[in-house]
Amino acid sequence: MINGFLLKGYGGFYYVYAEDRVWECSLRGRFRVKDQEFLPGDRVNILPEEEEEENKATIEYVEPRRNVLTRPAIANVDQAILVFAMTSPKPDLNLLDRLLIQVTDAGIEPILVFTKLDKYKEDALNDGSEGHAITDVYRKIGYDVFEVSSETGQGIDQIAVRLTNKISVLAGPSGAGKSSLFNALSPGKKLKTGQISLKSKRGRHTTRHVELMVCAGGLVADTPGFSSLFLPEMKRAELTDCFPEFAIRRRLCRFNSCLHDKEPNCAIKAALETGEISPERYEHYLIFLKEVIEAERKY
């Protein structure tokens, strides 16, 4: 028996990465009878067939999952690499904060990667701006933030180290450079990259399905681009836990049930006034709070 990870299922066969190679696997009858759902990232035990050089095997056992993402559908994820361009297109920070809530709620570590650093520096020289205000906000909160250029290679090695022996998902909007980042991390394994529409400045989807690929000593899923993302089901009081800069101050509020909206003596609003909390992050929090409350009333 060999232990490995399911990469993808296709045409009735399942492809498993184990012992530094990919095995084409069929299912034991008991799995077909149970109609069990298999997901990329599932840890499985396989039994090689007698002709081992053919890399064919059967799946004998599926281990319990540590976690599951539904968008994308993948199991046992260690970390989510949230990829956003620093420019061209400008980052959708509302979407970024939604993704942060999604992965935080699932118990998955988020890593923020801002691409097109070379283009951003070029634009900064042209308009005279200084600093990386966008990335500084999230770095100050405590998130792991990286600024990279797939064109020049700057920052790529730092990301590669974080992928080793991990199952990671690349998530973010189309046109942010997910496929270009993967190609820079894994030379020789080229994913199709999208172009930015000159009219809308938005990317075109290039990834249509989910599968794990070997990359930088780990397994990575290049996932379909998100155009929208619903918040996970939660109670209104739980939303604060998804904002680290809010969570550390919540006990300083006058009321234990404070939602940091219209309540008096709110520590979060006080920190907002002193510049300790980003106004844009707070604005997103209020938008999400309204959505959570509306969803609460439905169930």
Do strands 68-70 and 73-75 pair parallel, antiparallel, or not at all (unpaired)?
antiparallel
Q: In CATH terms, is domain 69-222 a member of 3.40.50.300?
A: yes
List C-alpha distances in Å: 292 to 53, 96, 295: 54, 17, 5
Single pTM value for the model: 0.84
CA-CA-CA-CA dihedral for 130, 133, 135, 138, to nearest 10 = 160
Binding residues for Zn(2+): 253, 258, 260, 266
List C-alpha distances in Å: 44 to 14, 49, 51, 79: 11, 16, 20, 20
Domain parsing of the chain, residue ranges:
2-64, 69-222, 236-298
The count of residues in the chain is: 299
Looking at residue 192, what is its pLDDT? 47
Which residue, among 144, 5, 145, has the nearest Cα to 66 in the 3D structure? 5
Query: What percent of the chain shows pLDDT beyond 90?
Result: 59
> pLDDT grade, residue 3 (50/70/90)?
very high
Tens digit of each residue's pLDDT (9 = 90 or more) over 108-132: 999 999 999 998 888 766 665 555 6
Alpha helices (runs of H) in 186-260, residue ranges in sequence order: 244-247
3-state SS, one letter per residue, for 103-114: HHHCCCEEEEEE
* pLDDT of 200 higher than 60: no
Alpha helices (runs of H) in 3-142, residue ranges in sequence order: 29-34, 93-105, 117-127, 133-141
Q: Of 86-90, 101-105, 111-115, give the range with the top mean pLDDT.
A: 111-115
* pLDDT of 205 higher than 50: no
Assigned CATH for 2-64: 2.40.50.140
Q: Tokens standing for 32?
A: 């077909």
Looking at residue 132, what is its pLDDT? 65
* pLDDT of 93 higher than 70: yes
Binding residues for GTP: 115-118, 172-180
User: What CATH superfamily is the domain 236-298?
Assistant: Probable gtpase engc; domain 3 (1.10.40.50)
Binding residues: 115-118, 172-180, 253, 258, 260, 266
Cα(first)–Cα(last) distance of the chain, in Å? Answer: 45
